[in-house]
Amino acid sequence: MALARNAPDRDIQIVNLSRRSRPDYERCFLDLSAPASRPAAGTLIIQALRGFHGERAIFIQNAHPNFAGKVPSRDYERDVNANVTAPLRPGEIFLRAVRACGLAREARLTTMSSASVRPPTAAQTVCCADKAAFEI
């Protein structure tokens, strides 16, 4: 949300697709580790693009970090899915929506990573592996 707060152009539409609500932004609940929450996010993306009249549509995604020793063992699979596999789906939904809407403007998909996972510390091994897998 720091990018949204510091956007140089104030004539923008920001939609927050996440588990957490932000009072200043429209929100659609999306939990990347819960596939059932994805269709509503896809519908919202398509609706936003169909009514879009700006110069460019940018979809920025950033999966949550997880840290070795801080996450219960039973949650590793969920977190790897949320950081590596699941982010591909909203990006794919965005790109398909751009095509389906016939958007005649610039559209970009941006995936955020974290410089804090290079070089890794022992506690960040899971987070580093997730980010590296997604970037490759």
Q: Rounded to the nearest 5 degrees, what angle is found at the Cα of 60, between the Cα atoms of 55 and 65?
A: 170
The model scores a pTM over 0.75: no
- Please give the biggest Cα pair distance in the chain: 48
| 85-108 pLDDT per residue, tens | 666 777 888 888 888 888 877 888
Domains and CATH numbers, the chain: 2-135 (3.40.50.720)
Q: If phi over 0 gives left and psi between -120 and 50 gives alpha, with beta otherwise, what is residue 102?
A: left
What is the mean pLDDT of the segment spanning 15-25?
80
| 39-61 pLDDT per residue, tens | 888 888 888 888 888 888 888 77
